[in-house]
Amino acid sequence: MVFTEQEQITYLANVIFLAHADASLSPRESAAIEEIRTGIGAKKSVLNSAARAVESGQYAPVTVGSFAVNVSNLGDMLYLCFVDGDLSEHERAIAIDFCRKIGLNQEQLNIMVREAIAKVDQSRLSVICPSCSTNVKGDSKYCPNCGNPIGKSDDEAVKMALEVPVSGYAIEFCESTAAGFPAALQFAKAATSFSSCIRNKKTWYLAVWTEGDFSKVSQLAQLLSGIRNRKCYHNGTEVSWDEVFGFTWCAANRDTAYRPIEYCFGKDENRVNPWGCKQARMDWTEWANWFSYGQFRRGGLLKGSNIWVFDKERIRHELMTALHRFRYCPHLRLKLVDAVLHAFPDEVEVTPKGAWKYSRAL
């Protein structure tokens, strides 16, 4: 059979996709993929392109070429499954779906399964011993050189995906040459849960903490400040890095401040900030815009005085908008914000010699 390069990529991607169904790749599976690659005459660069397509997380098996090519593709997919054990339920579902796409029925699939098993029995795959790198031929379960197991084992299988938990915080990051990476990796290994996998020929790590350990999550975020490939998950959903850790630089400055609590109130900048977070940027100054949130109404017995009524809903809205980026900061006290706003007067009577004055913009 003659393939175009794109058909080779799709053919191999279908095979690799099934190999990744159990989120790991054993030495036997790697050897089988290499055997299939040479069998269709594909270059290693083609195999790399196919692997990248699958590892992107957006790939799904598709038909390629003629009916005969698709049948051959399915045969190689099944062969790969049985090289390292039985057909799992997930792998079976993928195979059945591919059968439907190319027009095969269950009986024909059963025949192909038997042929795949027979091919595995006759196969003399050559694999590399993960312990001593000896080239081991046949279906040997142990290396003849060092005696370590060659068959399917949890230690030798390379994980191809990270499992993000549905609760708590998780940080995913890639290996890096950045100066701070060793310290970040060491810190991550002490997490509640730590795992790694191989993706695009690079090692990726996942550190997981419970909801109550956010301070440790933020510490790792600071250690990863010089690393680009990183992600954060909260309760199983990816969230924007800046949205979660936008406060870290400010918190770091607070930690080195002479009086940390006063730092939050803006004392170090000679500002009067009643909300307990300088990032609100709604200081108590005569020219502050938020003092203009409201409207005048007539007051007094004869309706002869002017009373300014503050729009507290708008003030709170502006506060929450300004503080949203810093909402994960452990020093932010929203109850204090509400308490200050509650104590703030609902309205002020404007008099020539009163405690409150106003300016008129022309």
| pLDDT tens digits, one per residue of 306-349 | 889 999 999 999 999 999 888 888 889 999 999 999 999 999 88
Structural domains of the chain, ranges and CATH numbers in brackets:
5-128 (1.10.3680), 162-245 (3.30.70), 271-350 (no CATH)
Determine what percent of the chain is predicted with pLDDT higher than 70.
Answer: 87
pTM of the full predicted structure? Answer: 0.52
How many angstroms separate the Cα of 77 from the Cα of each of 8, 12, 40, 109, 116? 14, 9, 13, 12, 9
Average pLDDT over residues 1-8: 84
Residue 65, pLDDT above cutoff 90: no
Per-residue pLDDT tens digits for 87-146: 778 888 888 899 999 999 888 888 998 898 888 877 766 666 666 667 666 556 677 777
Average pLDDT over residues 48-72: 88
Section 8-22 average pLDDT: 88
What value does the mean pLDDT take over residues 180-202? 87
Strand locations in the chain (E):
24-25, 127-128, 135-136, 158-159, 169-174, 193-199, 202-209, 230-234, 237-239, 294-299, 305-310, 347-350
**pLDDT tens per residue, range 206-249:** 999 998 888 899 889 989 987 888 999 999 999 988 888 888 88
Per-residue confidence (pLDDT) for residue 318, from 0 to 100? 94
**Partner residues linked to 347 by β-bridges:** 309
The whole-number pLDDT of residue 141 equals 65
pLDDT band at residue 155 using 50, 70 and 90 as cut-offs: very low
The predicted structure's pLDDT at residue 293? 93
Query: What is the model's pLDDT at position 160?
Result: 54
pLDDT at residue 203, rounded to an integer: 83
Q: What percent of the chain has pLDDT over 90?
A: 38
